[in-house]
Amino acid sequence: MEYNEALDYLCNFTKFGINLGLERIREILRRVGNPEKELEVVHIGGTNGKGSTTAFLAAIWQEGGYPAGTFTSPHLHSYTERFRIRGREIEPTEVGQLIGELRPHLEAMVANGFEAPTEFEVSTAVAFLFFARHRARPVFLEVGLGGRIDSTNVVESPLVTVITNVAMDHMDYLGNTLEDIAREKAAIIKPGRPVVTGVEFLSAWRIIEDKAREMKAPLYLAGRDFTWEIRESRPGRQVFDLQGWWGREEGLEITLSGRHQVKNAAMAVAVTRLMQEQGWALPEEALRTGLKKAAWPGRLEQVYDSPLVLLDGAHNYDGAVALRRALSEYYGDRRLVLLLGMLGDKEREKVVAELAPLAAAVVITRPNSPRAGEWQELAREVKKYLTEVYLEEEIGAAVEKALSLAGKEDVVCITGSLYMVAEAREVLLKRKQAKND
């Protein structure tokens, strides 16, 4: 299949939405020879921070000379971003080939009485085939949603399991309490395999601890089994010292902004040390260089200088708290214009309560998603905190409006749904390119 034809075919599966369960993905993989069994996987779940932790790990092991693979979601601009080896995206032609190869199996499954697979299940199968055929190692596999019946949970014996944190998100699918969500996420813990977690809420921690004990899985907690001290934190540069069971490391540096990224980097180092204990060789300099080189677009990413424009996919309350802290610390003395667009199933009131009080003006826009719901309702929440609120349905127009409201010394922060942030990023990069031409 051609790439565009393959994407059109894949879109047919989006109509089945989110349909959690492992029966369909197991059947797909059985039909293509179970490529997942050939892979050495680090399985990464959690509410926030999965992508950044994956980026740190991939950069470390790529720097060490390994053909490290990453499977992440969603993508910002191109479907090919989801599948990378050595940092390089899958070729569009190979996407077409792999989906074309899967197509008869998918259609035979439905003919044999299986439910139609979801888009994410097909993507997961593509990832396993891609990594197995190119002999990627290790593979850093990001959970799509939850964990227990997410299609990535067919991995039976990961090198290390990671649960970055547990917070309220996707309650329609995962449950309405932290404890329910923690149970879903803890289900990726496998017998005897080490677990690294950054969970902070005691109720969630107890559930993860109980699951690890049940599985006889060694458990390592950020802030207890490894700790860090931040020496310097400013946009584009953070320096920290790290103390763990393996020893002490000083002057580690990352370029991702926000103190929460130091925690993600610390977890990536802990995972790396556990892999080394399992016999994976890594030059010490690769860890330091990899941390420094790691990049993850759309997370406190600066795309303009004057006015300073930031992009951050703070799509839930926990993300909004981290964003507020960073904005207050880095830019608290500068006027802020906020561009906000959120999906209808998110904790809008709580997110607005965190971010709106920081802003002098807010532009509300509609994410390009069926789940956008009554997007204008967000403006009513924002007006509880300030009067200068604008509605722009088209994201391009919303970007232009936000820029028009900002002076050269001001800060524009574009945040909310990653779908919206991705589209705004594309608008800004094209605008920047046109200006430079």
What is the residue type of 211?
A: K
Q: Is the N-terminal amide bond of 370 cis, ω within 30° of 0? A: no
Pick the CATH number of 301-436 from 3.90.190.20, 3.40.50.920, 3.40.50.300, 3.40.640.10: 3.90.190.20
Q: What are phi and psi of 369, to 5 degrees?
A: -155, 145
Q: Does 3-293 match 301-436 in CATH topology? A: no
The side-by-side arrangement of strands in the sheet containing 195-197 is 88-89, 83-85, 69-71, 139-142, 41-45, 160-163, 195-197, 219-221
Name the band, by pLDDT with cuts 50, 70 and 90, for residue 346.
Answer: low
Instruction: Please say if the pLDDT value at position 344 is more than 80.
Output: no
Structure tokens at 362: 């807010």
What are 271-279's contacts with CB under 8 Å, separation 24+? 271/42, 271/53, 271/57, 271/160, 271/162, 271/196, 272/57, 272/60, 272/61, 273/244, 273/245, 273/246, 274/159, 274/160, 274/194, 274/196, 274/220, 275/42, 275/138, 275/159, 275/160, 278/159
pLDDT tens per residue across span 20-41: 679 999 999 999 999 999 999 9
Give the number of other Cβ atoms within 10 Å of residue 88's Cβ.
Answer: 11
Structural domain 3-293, CATH architecture: 3-Layer(aba) Sandwich (3.40)
- Rounded Cα distance between 343 and 363, Å, is 15
Q: Are 293 and 63 in contact (CB under 8 A)?
A: yes
pLDDT tens per residue across span 133-151: 999 999 999 999 878 889 9
pLDDT tens per residue across span 203-235: 899 999 999 999 999 999 999 999 999 999 999
| pLDDT score for 3 | 97
Locate the domains of the chain by residue range. Answer: 3-293, 301-436
